[in-house]
Amino acid sequence: GKWKNKERVLIFSSRGINFRTRHLMQDLRTLMPHSKADTKMDRKDQLFVINEVCEMKNCNKCIFFEAKKKQDLYMWLSNTPQGPSAKFLVQNIHTLAELKMTGNCLRGSRPLLSFDPTFDKEPHYALLKELFIQIFSTPQYHPKSQPFVDHVFTFTVTDERIWFRNYQIIEEDASLVEIGPRFVLNLIKIFQGSFGGPTLYENPHYRSPNMHRRLIRLSVAAKFREKQQVREVQKIKKKGSKVLMEEDPTEVVFETPAEEKPVEIQLVKPESKPIVKDKKKPRKIQRKKQKKLFRTE
């Protein structure tokens, strides 16, 4: 057949990414034979510069990983240079090497794309579905692709997030075995242009990582304050005067007094004990004298 669909995807990142993001980026390049790589972009550069980079690389789609604060990872999916583009927060990343999955697929084979029914109900999900189809599907008769379909990319919407999974199709019974990688995309915004422009959709359920970490710190501080207040209340209780209970007249009802013993007066003087002389004492004295003489000599 003839290669007609000339989709090319540029997959690269900004500086400051960690090893996990680097492995995830390499896994996507391995699974997508129609992708291209480029050097890391400087953080000081503006995002619209990526459109020029895609034009130089002859790419019309782009997956850009943006790292912030060395712990937060954002993913841009864009149709360059006209748009639209979507920005996601990437969470729960697991790579091919890390998971050690039992599944395996042919390198360069074309995947099936499976979408949740929610993608057909909401308009912003329908737009994302078309963007995913154009980016992740391997063009037919691509020179680097294989004419086989042996794995599935699944996009599932759960908890207002998009869950990405990759499964192998086993020929015997058509069952699925997970290959990897896996990650969760939390949608932030959809823009009309490529890496900018008017906002088409903004996720109302999105909470930034900074806000999430701030809420965690506030909850920990609230627990600490509560413990301090409990300790202060206990100290005040200990220092306060104890309430004396009134005497109960019925407490001594069953107490019986002990019998008084008669006082005995001894009129006769007790006999003195006989003095027993120590027979060994003169010998001890004599030994001590001999020791003193021996020392003086």
Give domain status of residue 261, yes or no: no
Segments forming the whole domain that contains residue 207: 9-213
pLDDT-wise least confident of 38-52, 128-142, 272-286: 272-286
Higher-scoring residue by pLDDT: 230, 171: 230
Give domain status of residue 237, yes or no: no
- CATH code of the domain containing 139: 3.40.50.10480
Give domain status of residue 107, yes or no: yes
243 pLDDT tier (thresholds 50, 70, 90): low
pLDDT (mean) for 39-67? 91
Q: How far apart are CA 79 and CA 195, in angstroms?
A: 9
Give domain status of residue 177, yes or no: yes
pLDDT of residue 105: 86
Q: Can the peptide bond before residue 147 be classed as cis, meaning omega within 30 degrees of 0?
A: no
User: What is this structure's pTM?
Assistant: 0.74
pLDDT at 3 over 90: no
Helix, strand, or coil here: 72?
strand
Number of domains, the chain: 1
Own/partner contacts of 155-162, CB < 8 Å, gap of 24 or more, are 155/113, 155/114, 155/115, 155/116, 155/119, 155/129, 156/116, 157/116, 157/118, 157/119, 157/125, 160/186, 160/187, 160/203, 160/205, 161/91, 161/185, 161/186, 161/187, 162/88, 162/128, 162/186, 162/187
pLDDT of residue 173: 79
For the stretch 264-278, pLDDT in tens is 877 787 777 777 666
Q: Are 130 and 113 spatial neighbours (Cβ–Cβ below 8 Å)?
A: no
- Amino acid identity for residue 291 in this structure: K
For the stretch 191-225, pLDDT in tens is 999 998 999 999 999 999 999 999 999 999 999 99
For the stretch 86-105, pLDDT in tens is 999 999 999 988 767 778 88
pLDDT of residue 290: 86
pLDDT at 245 over 70: no
